[in-house]
A and B are shown apart, each in its own frame.
Chain A
């Protein structure tokens, strides 16, 4: 047993080592290591050409909050990531956004986004493509629509977002004292490029990790759930209960999403040109969208890709008795023939109590994610 301990101690020490060496004498960004939370996946989606660095994250955080990234200095046409992605709403806009009534964002020209917002937390574990239909994925034949990085230029040019162009954006950022130095530190060149803007913001977004909810404490054996929360947890995790876990995970998948795509029985007629089918071409994906994480649900109303449900109660009512049959409904929605899982009012209340244990209140006030001083 002594030998065992002798072997283990140095091994543990090795496991905890981090890379520290700089890559060169003039350009020496500081490597940043993502600490994987308890039971979270080990495979991170970090492109080889955009390694995480302290300087890159710092720059990305500034750009994330800087409205001038839209290439404009006029208050009416300035827009940035943080215009819609509010930390206080777990980086969605929330129902009570002062500008986007009901939680539906629109761009600088007033055009609403095709879909409502989806969670922007724990994206470093997303391997199935970004957005509700996963159209930003590594094997995409369209070369500029493959990574989290690409969502930055897409947001700059999209009519329903910044409605700008990347030349304007990078020229304006280049002209702001302080930014060229930050680009130099992060990427070894003071020349602002759209690619490096995307890289920096993507690095920052990959740090938006939410893993400190009451349920996380429960998994770590630090707290106990209340009887009502436990009841909801049982319903969540059982096929004959709510049967949520097949798509939304649980103790075996604490992301609380598989990041896969499902037709969950909301409709019988499908006309959305941006469903999963439009990406995969597979008819079984008609009307399918990515299952979003359930973490921080309390902050992220409205729900579903089209924001049709304004409250958690409405969502639970839908899954209980509001399912709509179509031949495209995913077979995991096995309660479809009875219209839903038929949870009673008490059971739905318990389920809601459990879902609220996924709230990470510290995340929404974490100063590391807040608006920094801008150049």
Chain B
């Protein structure tokens, strides 16, 4: 019996595994993290799926399209694009300690 997949991997050695955090926990790149004010956030206030500018513009895919949006601080690089793009200014950048 030949195990094609394993043989292939042995020969090429380049079949790569998709992983989260290839560069490590990139959240450590910046101590500043976006904090969402639930009182102002449009989907959280209306309870309906709308706006989601923070999810749309995030280059790192760390914001979830949920009500309210959640941000994964383990991988958020703290660029601040979501703060700039929030139409109601519900996001502020604050220093958060990460382990």
A and B: interacting chains: no
A positions within 8 Å CB-CB of B: none
